Amino acid sequence: MNKTFLLVVIAMIAISFSSMAQYVDRTNFKAGLNAGLPVGDAGDVSSFSLGLDIAYHIGASELLDLGFATGFINAFGDTTTISGGGVSVETEFEDFQFLPVAASLRLYPTYDFKLGADVGYAVGINEGNEGGFYLRPLIGYNITGNTELNISYVNINNDGNFSIATLGILFLF
């Protein structure tokens, strides 16, 4: 129920702002890759992550873009040795996979520099992964007219936090 409600809200936001696209020149589709290091509790069970980012932004004003974002995140499972009571056990963790579905906001203090966040739900894809609330603040910089470099902090929360610090590159289409 919550996932369906979130998807409906994101669709309504995208539709309501689509009429603004004709007024601002910055409406675009973006796709790219990111790599990251799991931090906190996620760092105990995974070693690194790779992801795909897809976003559609609508220029709402000179300083603001609104839209939606999705993609794919794969955090590769790690092998960890757990010791206690004179016994050591090696545990191998499975990969964690998520499909984020989020509303997206970008602020442009300058033409090349941007601050933003994606907020929504990360659907857990692998078995036993329920997903959770998705929050991804980021800082981006336009390297060229159609290439963006960004750093972000992905946090997926559902009875615990799964967090990843990422570096990504996006291409505008």
pLDDT tens, residue by residue, 14-31: 555 554 444 456 789 999
pLDDT of residue 21: 44
Query: 87-92 and 132-144: which strand pairing?
Result: unpaired
CA dist 50 and 153 (Å) reads 13
The mean per-residue pLDDT over the stretch 114-131 comes to 95
pTM attached to this predicted model? 0.82
Domains of the chain: 31-55+68-172 (2.40.160)
